[in-house]
Amino acid sequence: MSSKSNLLRTVFEASIPIFYRLILRGKLSEGVFKEPWRLRMLDFDFLCGRETPSVAGIINPGSEGFQKLFFGQEEIAIPVHSTIEAACAAHPTADVFINFASFRSAAASSMAALKQPTIRVAAIIAEGVPEADAKQLIGYARANNKVVIGPATVGGIQAGAFKIGDTAGTIDNIIHCKLYRPGSVGFVSKSGGMSNELYNTIARVTNGIYEGIAIGGDVFPGSTLSDHVLRFNNIPQVKMVVVLGELGGRDEYSLVEALKQGKINKPVVAWVSGTCARLFKSEVQFGHAGAKSGGEMESAQAKNQALRDVGAVVPTSYEAFESAIKETFEKLVEEGKITPVKEVTPPQIPEDLNTAIKSGKVRAPTHIISTISDDRGEEPTYAGVPMSSIVEQGLGVGDVISLLWFKRSLPRYCTRFIEICIMLCADHGPCVSGAHNTIVTARAGKDLVSSLVSGLLTIGPRFGGAVDDAARYFKDAYDRGLTPYEFVESMKKKGIRVPGIGHRIKRGDNRDKRVELLQHFARTNFPSVKYMEYAVEVETYTLSKANNLVLNVDGAIGSLFLDLLAGSGMFTKQEIDEVVGIGYLNGLFVLARSIGLIGHTFDQKRLKQPLYRHPWEDVLYTK
């Protein structure tokens, strides 16, 4: 045999392939299957009883790391490499390169792989590879004693050992065709789809295939039908050969010559499809690029007759193909050339959990509960309201907060109040603790998120975090019927400052404008402002004690939110207590102040301010 035939003899003896794919994980070659091709190959490995998977690595340009995949019940990590060179260096025993890249880059990446000293075989899955590129690849491979399978191949399979790509289809089909253990038939075809059909046919009437391969339907395939038939002739386990050709080209005639010269001594059952082409008045282009007759010699009828004339078993029609295979196999059995194959029970491929759940076979607990949004449909929904509806109705941020926080559509005056709170609390200058922390962090060169979080972490009982406490204490005092005097004095006895009362700058004669705006809006729009009025009465009493004990913005928002919840008629008493207890109201301040803190971060970045160092003169150094 030629050196090329010697190499083809070992196409499937390579134990570890390298996979090349060019686009994002899970987006290529999925077809109608639910599992990615990588997992389907590993499932075949497991089905065949391999102890180690056939996949050595994945090449994904620009990406490195690992991809988790199942090998039977065990989850394994397959290395991901960014370049062909890196993958070949990391896996020197991997000598089969399977290229799932598109036709736009398949040729260049395959050539790069063939130039690696460790790669002997390149299988190209893509259809539509330019013919000039295919010729160049084939020429380079032949000159360097390497093999190209494809382009436009579905792959190949050695039963019970190893498979390339998506050949043989689903695991159910593989089991049905008994591909998990070797048979006695060598099969080669141009068509990948028909390969799956013939695997089934051969399994019905013989003991199954030993090896099958689809060379691809392009005009210039990397290997030919006769290459593989000659290879099968030298594999002891292969006792007969089945060939499926097609009209167009003259590849089948190289097989005719090999048979005529006596190079093949095993029975060959062959059929060339496309006999229906004569029914058409003009030339017909079938599915493959090479499947069109360029003259009488390239017709299916001429090829079938030529094969028949040199001793191949050629039926009169495709319908009779199965019977011809069966008769040839049974004759070999009678002659004692084929002994019965020991049947084995393949291991059960573990079913994917999602598939099992959908089929009702198992039930599994969920890990997260979500009641505010759903992204499983055509568009996301907030509390059941489609995103498009929110936009079409002209709803605002307050309405979105209403849906995501309170799980209901509050009246417009309520959502408008929420928006006012956000606007009024967005910022309070650079000197408050939150803004100061954010500014210092931004000037230290930290990123936006770090700068924002450093400011947010200062929010608490002493800075902006008193809204919930103010609401809680005002509500408790009002609901128990305490007078402002009784409320304030009871808090004093407990050693607790009244949340929502007191300001470092504002005084009784210099009220906080934000508080006045909130109170005006509420008196104008709210059905009831009983909690706010109670807070004002408390303020009147505390001002009699000190001029800075005014109702601050925390107290105003806290008391008015109680009026919003109670006055809207959409919340039960238990729900109101829950809103206050969980921390909803502080959430308003956090959301609002984030706007200002982000602004301060951008301001410092824009001004290119240097690292901040606090001045010595502003520090009291003492023992």
Instruction: Supply the residues annotated as catalytic.
Output: 288
Alpha-carbon distance 346 to 175, whole Å?
8
* b/e burial code for range 266-280 (CB count within 10 A of at least 16 → b): bbbbbbbbbbebeee
* Closest to 373 measured CA to CA, from 362, 387, 361: 387
CB atoms within 10 A of CB 512: 19
Cα separation of 199 and 177, whole Å?
6
> How is residue 106 annotated by DSSP?
H
R_g of the chain, CA atoms, integer Å:
39
- Of 180, 178, 181, 216, which is closest to residue 195 (Cα–Cα)? 216
The structure tokens 């994904």 sit at: 60
Cα–Cα distance list, 339 to 177, 222, 342, 569 (Å): 19, 34, 9, 85
Amino acid at 380: P
Cross-strand partners of 155: 165, 214
Q: Is the peptide bond before 151 cis (omega within 30 degrees of 0)?
A: yes
Q: Is 221 left (phi over 0), alpha (psi -120 to 50) or beta?
A: beta
Helix or strand or coil: residue 123?
Answer: strand
CA-based nearest residue to 44, from 223, 208, 177, 148: 177
